[in-house]
Chains A and B, each alone.
Chain A
């Protein structure tokens, strides 16, 4: 079997296994709605680790072995990339949330952003990203540590970023569909959420892919993923301390800034990925 066919087979098994975990969400929807314990076991213990579990199953089934799982920290010479994994998501989300408020002349809404509050948030996020991001290995071992590496020889770098991002966001589909299946909201709301998530994750996935390739480790990607999740929460918390009117609406500018920083991020790191690919020696 050629290397490409072997990769395709492994990728197929991996995606099939992840899909089976996604199905669990629909099959056990009723017991999950009834019991917090069932929800916790299926969602936190199985579903959120499904990409890592699927990669382990695929490695075992295809006899690929468990070497080169990118589980070394590789801190030597890579500490700056760890710092980038911490700082860049925070910067992107700050731009995404704060710039539209500042540009539209509502700086009085940012009362919660005192020097002390911002410093405390940055310190807490920095410290927590070091001890709490271990949980996100459940995703990163699968998406960046396995799927992307199998996709790249098949679809190229741009294709991997696009298809990988779409797969990553489709995996979140049960969460998007959950409310609609329980009779809350409309299907068009679900489609909108799904589309927004797809754009956001595809763009951010490019940065995570670059980070994993640059450091040859999944840990910086896990830290960046943690920061991606927590920055929004921390910034939202600070924003909620300000005097924002209940019917506040920034209009089109907020929509633009929701995507512009993350699209720019994707463009920069896509460029870097392509440049590094060009530089790397070609193998047969």
Chain B
């Protein structure tokens, strides 16, 4: 296991360390603070930008391992491909945590500095930050199996096709109002997103994301060898 950790560190250390810089990204927007008058808008804008950049960098650690020979070799090691995939999943999860930690630290520093210069209307943006972090974990849980099954380039394309098909089906269901579905969906959302249910909804979502991430690992374990057969030499 230590060997795989060492390999991932040697191969992806700059991507891993870049998570700290991504967390510090909102601070850069303060150099151009004239664009926004409101500090909270600036913090939210910076945070969303940081999430997008970090998300892109997290997917890049999946590149470079879609080689058939590597797949065969890693399967023959004592830990097997399951050990390799586990380290990969742990690393990506660790990257999300490192990014979130860095983002929260920088945001708190911005708030402290703002308080020092007399800005009082500072809002708590963790209510957006934490759900976004879970959303990021969910997106990685979807990305990884596609990349492992179809390789990096083809995987992204197939994921895009699946996403488009899903979006089209959903739009058709809502627009055509089959079995009164749009009304049912609207009522369900209205009910769920009221203040009473919001914390339960977030709790269920967050725990589900963690379960989905684990299931994603199990799916990756099942499809990895099929994917290896399709990789380039």
Task: Give the nearest-CB partner of B201 in chain A.
Answer: A120
In the complex, what distance in Å separates the CA atom of A169 from the CA atom of B220? 45
**Residue pair A37, B130 in contact (C-beta under 8 Å):** no
Rounded to whole angstroms, the CA-CA distance of A39 and B137 in the bound complex is 32
Q: Which residues on A sit within 8 Å (CB–CB) of B5?
A: 72
- Indicate the size class of the contact surface on chain B: 20 to 34
**Given A35-B116, A40-B112: A131 touches B133 (CB 8 Å cut-off):** yes
In the docked arrangement, what's the CA distance between A117 and B209, Å? 20
**B11 interfacial by beta-carbon distance below 8 Å:** no
Task: Count residues of A near B (Cβ-Cβ below 8 Å).
Answer: 26
In the complex, whether B199 has a CB less than 8 A from a CB of chain A is: yes
Whole-angstrom CA separation of A281 from B134 in the bound complex: 44
Mostly, the A contact residues are helix
Give the shortest distance, in Å, between B26 (CB) and chain A (any CB). 15
Beyond A44-B105, A134-B98, whether A127 also contacts B116 by CB under 8 A is no
**Please, how many angstroms separate the alpha-carbon atoms of A122 and B199 in the complex?**
11
B170 on the A face (CB < 8 A): no
Residues from chain B with a CB closer than 8 A to the CB of A35 are 112, 116
- CB neighbors of A among B71-97 (8 A): 90, 96-97
Report the bound CA distance from A40 to B108 in whole Å.
8
Known contacts being A37-B113, A72-B1, is A127 close to B134, with CB within 8 Å?
yes
A residues with CB within 8 A of B: 35-37, 39-41, 44-45, 72-73, 116-117, 119-124, 126-128, 130-132, 134-135
A123–B207 contact, CB under 8 A?
Answer: yes
In the complex, whether B161 has a CB less than 8 A from a CB of chain A is no
> Which residue in A36, A39, A126 is a CB contact (below 8 Å) of B207?
A126
Contact A37 B116 (CB under 8 A): yes
Cα separation A132 to B1 with both chains bound (whole Å): 25
Instruction: Say whether A123 contacts B116, CB under 8 Å.
Output: no
- Assess whether A131 is in contact with B199, with CB atoms less than 8 Å apart: no
Q: State the Cβ distance, A85 to closest chain B Cβ, in Å.
A: 15
Collect the chain B residues with CB atoms within 8 Å of residue A123's CB.
Answer: 200, 203-204, 206-207
Confirm or deny: B115 has a beta carbon within 8 angstroms of a beta carbon on chain A: yes
Q: Is B109 an interface residue (CB 8 A)?
A: yes
